[in-house]
Amino acid sequence: MELRKTVAVITGGGTGIGRATALALARAGAQGVVLNYSRSTREAEDTVTELAELGCAAVAEQADVADDTQVGALAQRVLDRFGRVDVLVNNAGTTHPVPHQDLAGLTDEVWHRLLDVNLLGPFHCARAFASALAEAGGAVVNIASIAGYRAGGSSIAYGVSKAALLQLTRNLASALAPDVRVNAVAPGTVATRWQTDLHGEAAFTERARAERESVPLRRTAGPEHVAEAVLGVLGMDLVTGEAIIVDGGKHVVY
């Protein structure tokens, strides 16, 4: 895919991986980037400013991807403004930490919220933008997680939601073919606010240091490494239904 003059929609686009992906697309020549956010208003607006400085027409749009009505309205606003969508990056996600042994703590409310955002959210967005993506010969990239492969992560529900997202990626790759490609990127540990919010800054720094001792590449991923994988898979014109793990090789030595 030639990224110059394309229009991209990135959910959860104001911070972390979403922000890094937006900046990478702008540097690759994207004409327009829509940053969807649910709560991070200031961060999304700051990222819009950064994108504008790179010569990219950018806009921040608030919508909860778990709400299909809001997603439909978002899609209409995007198409009214730009007239096309070439790239959809389903990056918005949430979690609720619950120790895996604490089955009683994993309430139905937790399950529903995580599945609504992490699984139904990407589906809502793919469905809402499917026609525009098909017309453009576009591509979807879902941001999954290594927790979708292993019995780890911040909770059982989080891991299950990301495993389901990997399967949704495969199913959508078939359903939207031949006009739209659908792939996933599955990060391991990434140095973002997500991790410091979960563990605290000092605790995350120590966790990351200890993890690097067993990671083949001896590095902790930053959001820019995940963005690099997103742009890489966007450029693979004959690849669909696949997932790229970005964890420095840790998954090969678990």
Query: What rounded mean pLDDT belongs to the chain?
Result: 95
- pLDDT per position as a tens digit, 120-163: 999 999 999 999 999 999 999 999 999 999 998 889 999 999 99
Of 37, 149, 158, 254, catalytic = 158
Q: Which fold has domain 7-248?
A: Rossmann fold (3.40.50)
CA angle 199, 202, 204 (to 5 degrees): 45
Rounded to an integer, the average pLDDT of 63-90 is 98
Do residues 158 and 143 touch, judged by C-beta distance below 8 A?
no
What's the token pair of residue 61?
């749009």
Tell whether the model's pLDDT for residue 53 goes beyond 90.
yes
Q: Which two tokens stand for residue 129?
A: 């933008």
Q: What tens digit of pLDDT does each residue of 211-247 get?
A: 899 999 999 989 999 999 999 999 999 999 999 999 9
Q: At what angle do helices 108-115 and 156-175 cross, to 10 degrees?
A: 30
> Do the Cβ atoms of 25 and 50 come closer than 8 Å?
no
Judge whether 149 counts as a catalytic residue. Answer: no
Strands 7-10 and 57-62: unpaired
Q: Is the pLDDT of residue 249 over 90?
A: yes
Question: For 3-12, 61-70, 111-120, 245-254, which range has the lowest pLDDT when averaged over its residues?
Answer: 245-254
Domain residue ranges in the chain: 7-248
Per-residue pLDDT at 201 exceeds 90: no
pTM, 2 dp:
0.94
